[in-house]
């Protein structure tokens, strides 16, 4: 199994079946992405016409390739698929990604061809991803065998998606924050290999810390949940399950021939398997960053520190609604806070620094994290430097220096929060507003990227931080109680 999957994710050579010189075709575009991505192994494009593409010799048949390549990427039209699979088998190829669509998701005759392909492949010892998929990514192997020209860096997020475009949405969002991917697999119709096969592989994959998954329906629910439960004990699986409504289920059927099944059953079983559920893509991304950057909380007792009253109320509401315990502050915490907060502070949780010095929030977070009464802290805001200057310099060089100063200051503030988290072994989850300088550089993006490089994340809204914390708490409960 492991070796088989290494052929997918770290192939020494690949055949590209259906290569084209027509730049509008997938047979060109995907190959171009493989080349642009910098794949280091041998690439064997195949097309009956022969010739050359992107500086590579095109082989006129699979047979002609001088070795049995580790991996085949297949984009030939549906009509030629059975023959292509036969040739792969007889060449001794063991792993293939079938990108081509037009099988079980289209109609009954497509389903029959798909069955035939799987039969031939299994008989010949060939494992398949797809058909009807976007391809796969494995940045550590510089393998970017997918449709759109995007190249996420190497990272710790794995993506197992029944939808290629959703998988790539995930990769793009992660990239925008300079987080990378370990593997991305667009599993398509799952004719041979299923979602659970990849969960099983990723559970033991050192490069992967968090598994993200988009699922329309399961081929083998029993095995899926068995594997998912074993995997969840090793690393979190964060999942979107769609098709819970009739409209969504019907769309899923025509998309990947998926049968969505009962939402109630799915929800119950996935809870037992420790799967972390996301209601939408933004939640999925927020959870991914949370699990990447924070330790798992040991309980649901939360202290909240805030630079602004309204954000505090929003966070308290969001936490309580989710079932987190917004604790009453113990006397020792109150008295320690009394020593430096303005006399009129509320003695309440959230602890509002009441428009005093912004640096106070770091002290408040430290005191809340230190207390035995909390399992986690939400920090709504970090110390910020931009009051230091009311008016921007006009000189280009000075302006850039000023921007660098702001970015560095934020990195320092986030670093302090992260240090507190490490000191007490509790998550300190930050939601904060970052300076957006209109008409100037998008400095908020620069800040977010700079802190992401240090494995830290800034949520943009208080309820996002609460949602992430709650899901991490539940995952912690699964780890402790099974």
Q: Residue 40 corresponds to which tokens in the numbers above?
A: 């280091």
For residue 76, give the 3-state DSSP assignment.
coil
Query: Which residues are CB-neighbours of 206 under 8 A, at least 6 positions away?
Result: none
Residue in 233, 436, 455, 482 binding a copy of itself, rule: CB under 8 A: 436
Instruction: Select the span of 63-71, 267-275, 318-326, 362-370 touching a copy of itself (CB under 8 A).
Output: 318-326
Residue with tokens 């630079």: 307
Q: Give whichever of 352 and 366 is closer to a copy of itself, judged by the CB atom.
A: 352
Q: DSSP letters along 268-318, please? A: HHHHHTTPEE-SSHHHHHHHHHHHHHSPPPSSSEEEEEESSHHHHHHHHHH
65, 81, 184, 316: residue in contact with a copy of itself (rule CB under 8 A): 316
Among 238, 318, 341, 451, interactor with a copy of itself by CB under 8 A = 318
C-alpha to C-alpha distance for 33 and 29, rounded to whole angstroms: 6
Residue 228 and residue 272: Cα distance in Å, rounded?
Answer: 10
Does 463 participate in binding a copy of itself (rule CB under 8 A)? yes
* Sole binder of a copy of itself in the list 248, 261, 295, 299 (CB under 8 A): 248
Q: Among 1, 259, 419, 442, which residue sits at the site for a copy of itself (rule: CB under 8 A)?
A: 442
Kindly state whether residue 455 participates in binding a copy of itself, applying the rule CB under 8 A: no
Contact residue for a copy of itself among 196, 197, 205, 216 (CB under 8 A)? 216
Give yes or no for residue 356 binding a copy of itself (CB under 8 A): no
In 3D space, the residue among 188, 277, 280, 196 whose CA is nearest the CA of residue 231 turns out to be: 196
Q: Which is nearer to a copy of itself, 413 or 418 (CB)?
A: 413
* Contact code string over 221-240 relative to a copy of itself, x by CB under 8 A: -------------------x
Within 383-412, which residues bind a copy of itself (CB under 8 A)?
386-387, 390-391
Residues 100-119 interacting with a copy of itself (rule: CB under 8 A): 101-102, 106-107
**Residue 270 to residues 217, 225, 263: CA-CA distances in angstroms?**
13, 7, 10
Total residues in contact with a copy of itself, by rule CB under 8 A: 83
Core vs surface per residue 246-272: b (16+ CB within 10 A) or e: eeebeebbebbbbebeeeeebeebbee
Contact residue for a copy of itself among 38, 51, 92, 149 (CB under 8 A)? 149
> What residues from 48 to 87 belong to the interface with a copy of itself (CB under 8 A)?
none
- Cα–Cα separations (whole angstroms), residue 65 to 17, 316, 376: 11, 64, 58
Query: Is residue 29 a contact point for a copy of itself (CB under 8 A)?
Result: yes
Which of 27, 131, 164, 303 forms a contact with a copy of itself (CB under 8 A)? 164
Minimum separation from the CB atom of position 413 to a copy of itself (A): 17
Buried b (16+ CB within 10 A) or exposed e, 411-431: bebbebbbebbeebebbbbbb
């Amino acid at each position: 199994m492991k070796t088989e999957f290494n052929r997918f994710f770290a192939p020494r050579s690949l055949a590209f079946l259906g290569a084209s010189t027509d730049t509008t075709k997938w047979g060109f575009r995907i190959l171009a992405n493989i080349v642009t991505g910098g794949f280091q192994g041998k690439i064997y494009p195949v097309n009956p016409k022969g010739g050359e593409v992107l500086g590579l010799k095109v082989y006129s048949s699979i047979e002609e390739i001088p070795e049995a390549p580790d991996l085949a990427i297949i984009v030939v039209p549906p009509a030629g698929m059975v023959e292509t699979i036969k040739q792969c088998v007889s060449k001794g190829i063991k792993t293939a990604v079938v990108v081509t669509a037009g099988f079980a998701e289209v109609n009954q005759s497509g389903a029959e061809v798909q069955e035939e392909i799987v039969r031939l492949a299994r008989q010949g010892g060939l494992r398949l991803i797809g058909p009807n998929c976007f391809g796969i990514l494995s940045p550590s192997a510089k393998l970017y065998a997918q449709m759109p020209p995007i190249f996420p860096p190497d990272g710790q997020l794995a993506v197992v998606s029944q939808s290629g475009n959703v998988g790539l949405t995930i990769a793009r969002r992660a990239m925008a924050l300079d987080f990378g991917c370990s593997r991305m697999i667009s599993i398509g119709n799952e004719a041979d290999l299923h979602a659970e096969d990849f969960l099983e592989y990723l559970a033991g994959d050192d490069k992967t810390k968090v598994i993200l998954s988009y699922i329309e329906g399961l081929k083998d629910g029993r095995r899926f949940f068995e594997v998912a439960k074993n995997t969840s004990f090793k690393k979190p699986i964060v999942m979107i399950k769609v098709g819970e409504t009739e409209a969504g289920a019907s769309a899923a059927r025509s998309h990947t021939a998926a049968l969505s099944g009962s939402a109630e059953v799915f929800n119950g079983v996935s809870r037992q398997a420790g799967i972390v559920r996301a209601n939408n893509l933004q939640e999925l991304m927020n959870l991914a960053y949370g699990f990447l950057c924070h330790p798992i909380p040991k309980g649901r007792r939360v202290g909240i520190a805030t630079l602004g009253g309204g954000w505090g109320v929003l966070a308290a509401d969001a936490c309580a609604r989710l079932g987190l315990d917004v604790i009453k502050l113990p006397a020792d915490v109150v008295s320690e806070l009394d020593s430096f907060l303005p006399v009129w502070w509320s003695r309440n949780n959230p602890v509002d620094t009441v428009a005093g010095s912004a640096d106070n929030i770091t002290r408040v977070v430290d005191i809340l994290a230190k207390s035995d009464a909390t399992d986690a802290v939400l920090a709504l805001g970090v110390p910020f430097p931009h009051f230091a200057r009311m008016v921007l310099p006009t000189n280009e060089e000075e302006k850039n220096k000023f921007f660098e100063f702001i970015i560095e200051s934020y990195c320092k503030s986030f670093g302090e929060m992260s240090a507190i988290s490490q000191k007490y072994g509790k998550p300190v989850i930050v939601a904060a507003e970052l300076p957006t300088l209109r008409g100037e550089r998008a400095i908020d993006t620069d800040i977010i990227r700079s802190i992401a490089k240090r494995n830290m994340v800034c949520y943009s809204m208080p309820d996002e931080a609460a949602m992430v914390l709650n899901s991490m708490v539940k995952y912690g409960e699964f780890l402790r109680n099974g």
